Amino acid sequence: MKHQAFLPHHGNKLFACYTGLETELVYRRGFNLPGFAAYPLLTTPSDKLLLGDYYNRLIQLARELGVGCILDSVSWTANRDRAAALGITVEQLKQFNIEAIEFIAGIKRQNPDVPIVLSAQVGPRDDGYAPSHLMNEHQAFDYHSEQIAVSASTEVDLISAFTICYPEEAIGIVKAAKKYTMPVAVAFTLETDGRLPTGMSLQEAIVMVDAQTDSAALYYLINCAHPSHFSHILDGGAWMQRLRGLVVNASCCSHQTLEQATELDEGNPAALGKQVAELHRSYPQLNILGGCCGTDMRHMKSIFEAVKARD
C-alpha cells in the first residue's frame, strides 16, 4: 500500500469531501441507479466521462479555494449483499472495487498540484437510514473484510466508512481495516434529533468504537445530516477531538421524508455554508467539510467560501 505523507487528520488543513454523487445523478441527471449503486457506471465509457467530470470539478474547486481534496470511490454499495441483489457476482464485485480506485488514482495523477487523498468508500451492509439486519462486531468484521481486503491491494490511501448507523458495524469495519493495515475513518449518520438511527448518541457511539478498537480509527465524521440536526449536540467535550468532519445534507428534512421525496430538496446553499462555517469557527478541528445528499458544487463552494471568510 502506498500511503501518502499526509492524511486529513494531520493538522487543520481544510479538505473538501463530496458524497452527494448518487442523489445528483438520480434527481438532476435522470439516471436509474438500481440499489443506489453508482459503480456499474464504470462499465460505460460515456458514464465514466461523467463521473470523471464530477471528480474534476471537485478538484478544480479545491484548487481555486486552496484546500485539499478527498476523492471517494463510487463503491459505497459495492458489498456482497447489495451486489447480489443486482445480479453481480463476487468476482465481478472485486473487479468493480479495484476499478473504482484505479479510476480516481488516474485522476489524481493528472492533478499533481492539488493535495488529493484517495478514499475507498465503504457503506453499510443494510439500509443506510433504517437497518433491519443488525450485526454484532464479529459479523461486521467478517462481512466487511471482503471489500476492505480488495481495497487494501490498491493505491488507496484510506478506507472511509460512510452512513454508518450503529457502533457494532463501525467496530467490525475498523477492525477489518486494522487487519489489512489500512487507515480508516468512520462517518455516522444522524437523525433530526442528533442521534444515530438506533437511538444512541454520537458521543456514546464514538466512545464505544474507540474502546473496542484501541482508538484505531483515524477520525470520525458526521454525514448525511443537516447542521440543524446535530449542532446542538456539539458540546466541545473531549470526545469531539475525535470528530474531524462534517459532510452535510442540503435539506433539513428527515431521512424518512427524503426517502419518499420525488423531487430533490436543494435547501439554501448560502445558508448551509454559513451554518457549516459557524460550526467550523467554534470547532476548528473540523477540517473535512463537504456535501452529501442534495448538494452540488454550489453548496460546496458556499461552504468553503463561508469558512474562509471567517478565518
Class of residue 90 by CB neighbours under 10 A (exposed 0-12, middle 13-18, buried 19+):
exposed
Stretch 253-271: mean pLDDT: 76
Q: Is residue 17 annotated as involved in ligand binding?
A: no
At residue 150 the predicted structure's pLDDT band, cuts being 50, 70 and 90, is very high
- The rounded percent of the chain whose pLDDT value lies above 90 is 84
Q: What pLDDT shows up at residue 84?
A: 96
Asked if the model's pLDDT at residue 186 lies above 60, the reply is yes
Asked if the model's pLDDT at residue 309 lies above 80, the reply is yes
CA-based R_g, the chain, Å? 18
pLDDT-wise least confident of 121-135, 225-239, 265-279: 121-135
pTM confidence score: 0.94
Q: Using CA atoms of 56, 59, 61, 64 in order, give the dihedral in degrees to the nearest 10.
A: -120
- The rounded percent of the chain whose pLDDT value lies above 70 is 95
**What pLDDT digit, counting tens, does each position of 80-109 carry?**
999 999 999 999 999 999 999 999 999 999
What is the C-alpha separation between 116 and 43, in angstroms, rounded?
A: 24
Contacts of 262 (CB under 8 A, 6+ apart): none
Q: Is residue 292 annotated as involved in ligand binding?
A: yes
Cell 466508512 locates to: 161
Stretch 127-149: mean pLDDT: 91
CATH number belonging to domain 15-310: 3.20.20.330
Q: What pLDDT shows up at residue 1?
A: 41
Q: What pLDDT shows up at residue 2?
A: 47
Q: Are 100 and 42 in contact (CB under 8 A)?
A: yes
SS3 for the chain is: CCCCCCCCCCCCCCEEEECCHHHHHHHHCCCCCHHHCCHHHHHCHHHHHHHHHHHHHHHHHHHHHCCEEEEECCCCCCCHHHHHCCCCCHHHHHHHHHHHHHHHHHHHHCCCCCCEEEEEEECCCCCCCCCCCCCCHHHHHHHHHHHHHHHHCCCCCEEEEEEECCHHHHHHHHHHHHHCCCCEEEEECCCCCCECCCCCEHHHHHHHHHHHHCCCCCEEEEECCCHHHHHHHCCCCHHHHHEEEEEECCCCCCHHHHHHCCCCCCCCHHHHHHHHHHHHHHCCCCCEEEECCCCCHHHHHHHHHHHHHHC
Asked if the model's pLDDT at residue 4 lies above 90, the reply is no
Q: What pLDDT shows up at residue 6?
A: 72
Q: What pLDDT shows up at residue 311?
A: 66
At residue 12 the predicted structure's pLDDT band, cuts being 50, 70 and 90, is confident
Cell numbers describing residue 22: 448518487
Tell me the sheet residues that pair with 290.
17, 247
C-alpha 268: how far from its chain's center?
21
What is the C-alpha separation between 307 and 311, in angstroms, rounded?
A: 7
What is the C-alpha separation between 280 and 13, in angstroms, rounded?
A: 12
Cell numbers describing residue 211: 474502546
Distance (Å) of CA 180 to CA 3, 97, 173, 174, 265: 13, 16, 11, 10, 39
At residue 299 the predicted structure's pLDDT band, cuts being 50, 70 and 90, is very high
Q: What pLDDT shows up at residue 254?
A: 74
Residue 279 CA neighbour count, 13 Å, CB half: 30
pLDDT-wise least confident of 33-47, 52-66, 181-195, 254-268: 254-268
* Residue-range domain boundaries for the chain: 15-310
Q: What pLDDT shows up at residue 10?
A: 77
At residue 263 the predicted structure's pLDDT band, cuts being 50, 70 and 90, is low
Tell me the sheet residues that pair with 120.
159
Q: Is residue 293 annotated as involved in ligand binding?
A: yes
Asked if the model's pLDDT at residue 261 lies above 70, the reply is no
Stretch 130-140: mean pLDDT: 91
- Count how many residues are written for the chain: 311
Summary mean pLDDT of the chain: 93
